[in-house]
Amino acid sequence: MYTAREIKPNLVLKFSWRSVLFFLLYSGTLFLLYFYFEIHLGVSFVPIGLIGTAVAFSVGFKNNASYSRLWDARRSWGGMVNASRSFGSYVVAFLKSEEISTEEISHIKEEILYRHIAYLNTVRIQLRRKSVWGDMNTVAHKVVGPDNHAQVSSDVTRILLEFLPENEAESYSRKKNVATQIMKTQTGRITDLAAKGYISESCHRRLMEVIQEFFNHQGACEAIKGFPFPRQYAYYSKLFVWLFILILPFGLLTEFAKLNGAAVWLGIPLYVVIAWIFHTMEVVGDTSENPFENAINDVPMTAICRIIETDLRDMLNEENIPAPIEAIDNILM
């Protein structure tokens, strides 16, 4: 997630310098052919204006839909934060027994909350795996550097060993959806504690409701990850934008040819600006439609997981709590 109030010019340049250079060379060639070689390439601007209006509506629809996917993803992770705080407070407040020592109760609380931290980070890592349709050639991905499958696998192993007992961590090694299996273990553990009388029936019911909420949020994120933005909208939107960009200088040439002498060259910078605007609107939609691809516009899941970890470990009255994730070059992951 980009955190600065305004996007720095150097980042804008990284996104657009190739396209701006193409627009400049393309329009310059057409205007050069007209001005020096008197090749009349102009056409009426009326149909081009109509095409531009239609393209603007198409791009606007795509951007609205892409933003909706991004916002739904962020809202799901916001729900994860709220549900995790409720889950942690329930575990700390309701888990008690006179049959075992205070130290053992504290150990059980730590076990449950650490397992939950492992669950959240595993969800994060699983969502950041490369998708088949993800465009890893965009600057949005190059700036960050996308995770590869080997790195994702090693990250899951590291997270499991950091927060779970070694035997439990190894039991997930062959599971397809590790996060779901972790929550399954968590559910069994809480149910076992309720059967022993360490958790009341009403508290057990509340905890199961919160666990169901976690599954709902996880499923919502997996649905966004697993179902891409419909290709018919994404592809044709890009096609229409480029069609408009390619035919626009012919209409501008007609209009600027009405001016006297060298004033016709003013059409080149005007074309570059218009083409850059339409192309940028298209790129904004492209970089927002898949919010879990480890790009700079994605949901900052790493930072959110650290916030939850800090809250839960603070509930356990720990002293060595990790610091929040800070944005690097205004990019928060």
- Percent of the chain having pLDDT more than 70? 92
Higher pLDDT, 290 or 24: 24
Counting beta carbons within 10 angstroms of the beta carbon of residue 193, is it exposed (0 to 12), middle (13 to 18) or buried (19 or more)? buried
Is 302 within 8 Å of 79 (Cβ atoms)? no
Q: Which tens digits make up the pLDDT trace of 68-113?
A: 999 999 999 999 999 999 999 999 988 887 777 888 889 999 999 9
Q: Which tens digits make up the pLDDT trace of 270-308?
A: 999 999 999 998 888 888 888 888 778 888 999 999 999
Res. 122: pLDDT tops 90 = yes
Query: Residue 238 is which amino acid?
Result: K
Lowest model confidence (mean pLDDT) among 25-39, 61-75, 186-200: 25-39
Structure confidence at residue 150 (pLDDT): 40
Helices 267-286 and 9-37: crossing angle in degrees, nearest 10, is 140
Q: Which tens digits make up the pLDDT trace of 225-237?
A: 988 888 788 888 8
Structure confidence at residue 138 (pLDDT): 55
Classified as helix, coil or strand, 205 is helix
Structure confidence at residue 221 (pLDDT): 93
Q: Say how many Å lie between the first and final Cα of the chain, rounded.
A: 6
What is the H or E stretch that residue 286 is in?
Answer: helix 267-286
Distance between CA atoms of residues 331 and 279, nearest Å? 23
Res. 146: pLDDT tops 50 = no
Res. 162: pLDDT tops 60 = yes
Q: Which tens digits make up the pLDDT trace of 193-217?
A: 999 888 888 999 999 999 999 999 9
Res. 40: pLDDT tops 50 = yes
Distance between CA atoms of residues 333 and 270, nearest Å? 37
What is the H or E stretch that residue 294 is in?
Answer: none
Classified as helix, coil or strand, 147 is coil
Distance between CA atoms of residues 326 and 333, nearest Å? 9
Q: What is the pTM of this model?
A: 0.85
C-alpha distances in angstroms, 220 versus 37, 77, 122, 124? 60, 10, 15, 13
Q: Residue 148's pLDDT band (boundaries 50, 70, 90)?
A: very low
